[in-house]
Amino acid sequence: MSDQLIDKIVEILGPFMGETMARASLRVYVNEIKINKGSFEPQYLDLLVLRLRTGLTAFAGKDKAQSLINDILRLKQRGGV
Amino acid sequence: MSRIIHGLMLLFIATGAVLCFGPWYDTRATLVLTALFKLLGLVIAFIAAFTTFSRLDSGDPQRRPWLLLAIGLLLYAGGQSVLASYQVCLDVRSPFPSVGDPLFVASYPLIIGALFWFCVIAIHSGLPLGKSLVFWSPALLVLIVFAAGSYPLLASIIKANDPGMETFLNIFYPVTSFIALAPCLVMLRTGLKFRGGRLLLVWLPITLGFTTVLVSDIFFAYLVADKMACIESLVDFLYVSGYALISIGTLSQANLLK
């Protein structure tokens, strides 16, 4: 996954969970996907989002988590991936 | 909105400090105001915790612990309203024990349960909050401090030879406060992981608030056992600021879900 995409996701998650936690979470989840799939390709963004959703829901509930997830998925639609 | 909340609550704490540490501390007006401040802080915290519960979806993991916390805060506010009624309506210092104590006693298991529940949800969230031992390390630290420090406290309470109910409460409050400190400090460490984010503004004030209240409970036990009247104003201030911090955190959480 490009550093640019990580930065864009951190921009979305940072105000909610803090930049450090957002980067640490992304690093852990991307590494997990790399271990399972061999590499992290842009099409695995959905898998990443799935992992993020659990953590976000635990602290902010489904609705807030979904609104953050939607912002991340919009990156894909905008061709940010 | 959150800036307004924080500004108002910091003003609340500053006013508490002026009331408790000024030469007017022992006057009726100050006693009434501090009693009302404590009650106001708890009522705001209860309303915000209940609002958070109602804003969460039925499948949200945090919904039930927020309800538990809201009920705990309501019972606690009930206990505080009994104490306040002595000071405001009857113009006397609240007796110890009082009819408010059963409400305080009932509130502790609910608050402790909610705090532990938040910890369990956090560790299962999948966020990188540390391995089990690291995550629970603040609780272990509390356990060690309790094991080392409880004897002198409990011995001084027992030595005081107070009536049975008074002795029970003087043991119950600090012991349950130590138990509550364990999940509280775990969530404090978790909250600090969110620095720079809105979740920090939820968990830092809530956990600092509870820590302040729980430490006040421990001080209060010393106050009653050793008749340490000199720390009475400090204990009062810690309660006022603790309740204000809890209300800041719960309001921030309710605001986050809006």
Number of domains in chain A: 1
CA distance from start to end of chain B? 11
Structure-derived torsion over alpha carbons of residues B82, B91, B173, B19, reported in degrees to the nearest 10: 110
Measure in Å the smallest separation between the Cα of B59 and chain A Cα atoms. Answer: 8
| Angstrom distance (rounded) from CA B40 to CA A2 | 50
The C-alpha of B118 sits at a distance from chain A's nearest C-alpha, in angstroms, of 9
pLDDT-based confidence at B236, cuts 50/70/90?
A: confident
Q: How far apart, in whole angstroms, are the C-alpha atoms of residue B223 and residue B115?
A: 27
Spatial distance between the Cα atoms of B105 and B170, rounded to a whole number of angstroms: 11
- Tens of pLDDT, residues A16-64: 999 999 999 999 988 888 877 777 777 778 888 888 999 999 998 999 9
Helix then strand then coil, % of chain B, to nearest 5: 80, 0, 20
Of the two residues B236 and B60, the one the predictor is more confident about is B60
Of B121, B197, B257, which is closest to A58 when you measure between CB atoms? B121
> Nearest by CB to A51, which of B121, B126, B195?
B126
Residue A18 C-alpha, separation from nearest chain B C-alpha, in angstroms:
4
Residue B90, φ and ψ in degrees, nearest 5? -95, -10
Residues of B in contact with A59 (CB under 8 A): 62, 122, 125, 127, 199
Best of B117, B127, B134 to disrupt the A interface by mutation (most A CBs within 10 Å)?
B127
Both tokens assigned to B42: 């708890």
Are the beta carbons of A21 and B127 separated by less than 8 Å? Answer: yes
The arithmetic mean of pLDDT across residues A69-75, rounded, is 89
* pLDDT given at position B91: 77
| Domain-wise residue ranges, chain B | 2-256
State in Å, rounded, how far the first CA of chain A is from the last one. Answer: 8
Cβ pair B55:A61 closer than 8 A: yes
Q: Report the pLDDT averaged over residues B240-247.
A: 91
| Span B172-181, average pLDDT | 88
Q: Is the pLDDT of residue B190 over 80?
A: yes
Kindly indicate the confidence band of residue B135, based on its pLDDT and cuts at 50, 70 and 90: very high
ipTM associated with this complex: 0.89
Which residues constitute the domain of residue A18?
Answer: 3-77
* Secondary structure (3-state) at B253: helix
Backbone angles phi, psi at A26, to 5 degrees: -60, -40
Give domain B2-256's CATH number out of 3.30.70, 2.60.40, 3.40.50, 1.20.1070: 1.20.1070
Most confident among B13-22, B85-94, B235-244 (mean pLDDT): B235-244
Per-residue pLDDT at A71 exceeds 60? yes
How large is the average pLDDT for residues B88-115? 90
- State the average pLDDT over residues B106-129: 96
A22 vs B contacts (CB less than 8 Å): 197
Query: Which residue of chain B is at minimal alpha-carbon distance from A17?
Result: B197
Range from B56-60, B236-240, B245-249, B251-255 carrying the lowest mean pLDDT = B236-240
Q: Are B55 and B258 in contact (CB under 8 A)?
A: yes
Residue of A nearest to B257 (CA): A64
